[in-house]
């Protein structure tokens, strides 16, 4: 029997967490280990941070340009977060999924909710929790990217973000990075085999049942 298979529908994997819980580090490793997984690069109005690259980490745009895209209904989701705007263009994501390519979203819970609402059959949501708020504060301080008042605001906001973890399909506590990464990778692998995405199964099954043994 031929093993030819028609393309499957791509996985839309959404990973969210409070700032500092480790989602970006987990997502980067997942992408490094899985070359077929593409990052949905968000647009943002916030300032670029040391070490970030425009077009790789985010597409950095002006507030005026961002508003123009909102008015054109060009985003799959967008939100105001910590005084800045973030958004994900919809066309590249839909094109990738239709072509069987997997797309990773590294966003906040608000974006995850919006994307899932618009892509209910595709979205797989994973929420990353910190082991404690004190550890969350320590990580934010250690990465040295924000002023002290910004760090305290992020820690305070984390409680409100954590309240939304029950909206997600999977919840991981990032106490040990390697263990959390292994769990995230297992989720991704399992979702790639999900029946509803593998459009080739019906034909493959029919061919099996026609075999003479």
Q: Binding site for ATP: which residues?
A: 17-24
Is the Cα dihedral 139, 145, 149, 151 positive or negative?
negative
User: Which residue positions form the known binding site?
Assistant: 17-24
Burial status of residue 174 (CB atoms within 10 A of its CB: 0-12, 13-18, 19 or more)? buried
């Amino acid at each position: 029997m031929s093993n030819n298979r028609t393309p499957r529908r791509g996985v839309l994997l959404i990973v969210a967490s409070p700032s500092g819980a480790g989602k970006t580090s987990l997502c980067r490793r997942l992408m490094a280990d899985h070359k077929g997984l593409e990052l949905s690069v968000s647009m943002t109005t916030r300032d670029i941070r040391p070490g970030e690259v425009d077009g790789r980490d985010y597409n950095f745009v002006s507030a005026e340009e961002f508003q123009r895209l909102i008015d054109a209904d060009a985003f799959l989701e967008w939100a105001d977060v910590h005084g800045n705007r973030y958004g994900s263009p919809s066309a590249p994501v839909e094109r990738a999924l239709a072509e069987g390519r997997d797309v990773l979203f590294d966003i906040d819970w608000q974006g995850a909710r919006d994307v899932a609402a618009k892509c209910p059959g595709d979205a797989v949501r994973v929420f990353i929790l910190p082991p404690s708020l004190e550890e969350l504060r320590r990580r934010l301080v250690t990465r040295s990217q924000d002023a002290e008042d910004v760090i305290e605001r992020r820690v305070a906001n984390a409680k409100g973000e954590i309240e939304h973890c029950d909206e997600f399909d999977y919840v991981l506590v990032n106490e040990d990075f390697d263990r959390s990464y292994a769990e995230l990778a297992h989720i991704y692998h399992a979702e790639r085999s999900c029946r509803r995405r593998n459009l080739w199964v019906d034909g493959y099954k029919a061919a099996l049942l026609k075999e003479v043994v």
